[in-house]
Structure 1
Amino acid sequence: MQFLNVTAEAKANIYFDGKVVSHGVTLADGTTKTFGIIYPGSYHFGTEKAERMEITDGTCQVTLDGVDGSDTFTAGEHFDVPADSGFTISVDDIICQYVCSYIES
């Protein structure tokens, strides 16, 4: 996955003592995305805007807030998170990489 003609944020977004790290980009059309890595562990994130999380490498398990059970996602797959919600993402053994798109309502 490549993004051309973007403005990239050099300063990283660092969460959970460095176990989740991302960088933001703004595309030519003004939309924003973040891309990053998740080290093994389990992490909960809240959302303001709806999000699409595309897994670009590795595997993760995801539980959306208010949903029983989790689903597994691997490279090439995605999951959507509603606005004003949240999700728990777990990575077992190797780093998981992702691209997050923010969905305007």
Structure 2
Amino acid sequence: MSNSAQLDNVSVVKKSNIYFDGKCISHNVIFPDGTKKSVGVIFASSLRFNTGAPEIMEVVSGLCKVRLADASDWTSYGAGQQFSIQGNSHFDIETIETLDYVCHFG
């Protein structure tokens, strides 16, 4: 994972992924080696995401609180921070400020 402000040499899927009545919108990007990430935004809300593959959520900007499936406490994350989610799991997220993120799969 890179702290770069951009993702280079990727293909972008034009159709957006819209979740939770527009509270989360993302686009899939595909790298030359076939790996996939999504780049998106979560507007102020409280949501639960289910995972298939393991994920790393990289916070680009904004502020959120997260509670992983196996945790009872919430943890805050801001720009430049990240958190990991196991595959076939879930996490609760409360966005305090609009959140720009990159989701790294696998």
Normalised by the shorter chain, which TM-score bucket? Answer: over 0.9
Q: How many equivalent residue pairs?
A: 102
**Amino acid corresponding to residue 98 of structure 2 in structure 1:** I
Unpaired runs of 5+ residues, structure 1, are: none
1:24 matched to 2:28? The reply is yes
RMSD over equivalenced CA pairs, Å: 0.7
Match of 1:67 in 2: 71
| Identity across the alignment (%) | 38
- For residues 1-105 of structure 1, the aligned pairs below 5 Å read 1-92=5-96, 94-103=97-106
* Segments ≥4 residues shifted beyond 2 Å: none
Report if aligned partners of 1:3, 1:27 keep a CA contact under 8 Å in 2.
Answer: no
Q: Write the distance in 1 (CA, Å) between the matches of 2:23 and 2:7.
A: 24
Q: Write the distance in 1 (CA, Å) between the matches of 2:47 and 2:80.
A: 21
Q: Write the distance in 2 (CA, Å) between the matches of 1:74 and 1:87.
A: 16
* CA deviation after TM superposition for structure 1 residue 79, in Å: 0.1
TM-score by length of 1: 0.94
User: For residues 39-84 of structure 1, what are the alpha-carbon distances to aligned partners after superposition, in whole Å with 9 as ceiling and x for unaligned?
Assistant: 0010101001000000000100000012111100000000000011
TM-score by length of 2: 0.93
Report if aligned partners of 1:55, 1:78 keep a CA contact under 8 Å in 2.
Answer: yes
